[in-house]
Amino acid sequence: MITEILKGLQRTLFDRPLKPVLLLQGRYRINEVLGMGSYGITYLAQDHLTDTIVVLKQLRTTKAKTESGLRSFKRESEILKAVQHPQVPKLLDEFQNDRGFFITMEWINGDTFEDLIFRDQHTYSENETITIFLELLNIIETFHENGIIHRDLRIPNIIQRNGKLYIIDFGLACFLSDRETADPDDHPEKLRMRAVTVESDLFALGHFALFLLYSTYEPQSKEERSWEEELNISNSLKAVLRKMLQLDDPFHSVADVRTALLQI
């Protein structure tokens, strides 16, 4: 508890976001703060050289003082270069100045599934969920073929724009060859999602699917039940999700998941 309080104080004192209208590198003018993650602060900015809106990500000052923080930030740019997928933001620039370390990325102007579900009250049937799943699997398979694990496939990091899906935020992504050390105090669910394995992305996608499927759920009683009891979905999809969530012998590849979904 004390450690977390100290970390919070450090962030308040040293990790303050840059102010809007600030101009960086003579071309990037900050418009607004998009979010603050564990390693970085993300902004929307105007690129005056290309007259486009871009995403600017700054490494937190406190993280820049640590070897692991610098390594993780630099790895994100390396991974974006390696991915090169039309449904992933393009890396546009990377630079360092007296305000810290920065990378610039393409802005995917769409709606996250967090917005679609909770803000717009959008609902997803079993068939719609499977269709979305299959498109995501095609993107993620490309990551895995390049030896990359995303490790953060959550509803805020998956965007829909003009009927097409995009995956963003590679701040926690890593290469399969990396050796990440897990915090033994982490919740078992977090440990599964952060593992440097293909299965960790499949586990996260299983949870993503539950968010979509629960969008149609209407409680019939106050009694708390398992998702298998509450969701009105086919037994075939339940079996797929159980394997993705590692409740049964898990899938070990995107291809295995795709084959199982196409059989439903």
Number of domains in the chain: 2
What local confidence, expressed as pLDDT, does residue 66 receive?
86
One domain for residues 146 and 97: no
111 is catalytic: no
Structure tokens at 40: 């970085």
One domain for residues 94 and 135: no
Concatenate the DSSP letters of all residues of 190-211 into one string: HHHHHSSSHHHHHHHHHHHHHH
One domain for residues 216 and 89: no
One domain for residues 22 and 121: no
Structure tokens at 260: 């199982």
In the listed set 106, 126, 148, which residue is the last one of a domain according to the structure?
A: 106
In the listed set 82, 106, 130, which residue is the last one of a domain according to the structure?
A: 106
What local confidence, expressed as pLDDT, does residue 186 receive?
64
One domain for residues 197 and 145: yes
Structure tokens at 233: 């979905």
Interacting residues of 74 by C-beta distance below 8 A, sequence separation 6+:
101
Q: Tell me, what DSSP letter sits at residue 88?
A: S
In a domain, 9, yes or no: no
Give me the catalytic one of 98, 111, 120, 152.
152
One domain for residues 135 and 81: no
**Residue 128: burial class (beta carbons within 10 Å; 0-12, 13-18, 19+):** middle
The whole domain housing 119 covers 111-262
One domain for residues 134 and 165: yes
In a domain, 236, yes or no: yes
In the listed set 106, 130, 152, which residue is the last one of a domain according to the structure?
A: 106
Q: How far apart are CA 264 and CA 121, in angstroms?
A: 27
DSSP-derived 3-state class of residue 33: strand
pLDDT along the chain (264 residues), means of 10: 51 76 96 90 96 96 84 91 94 94 96 97 97 97 96 96 96 87 62 86 97 92 88 97 97 97 95
In a domain, 219, yes or no: yes
**What angle, 0 to 180 degrees and rounded to 10, lies between the N-to-C axes of helices 254-262 and 126-145?**
160
One domain for residues 149 and 244: yes
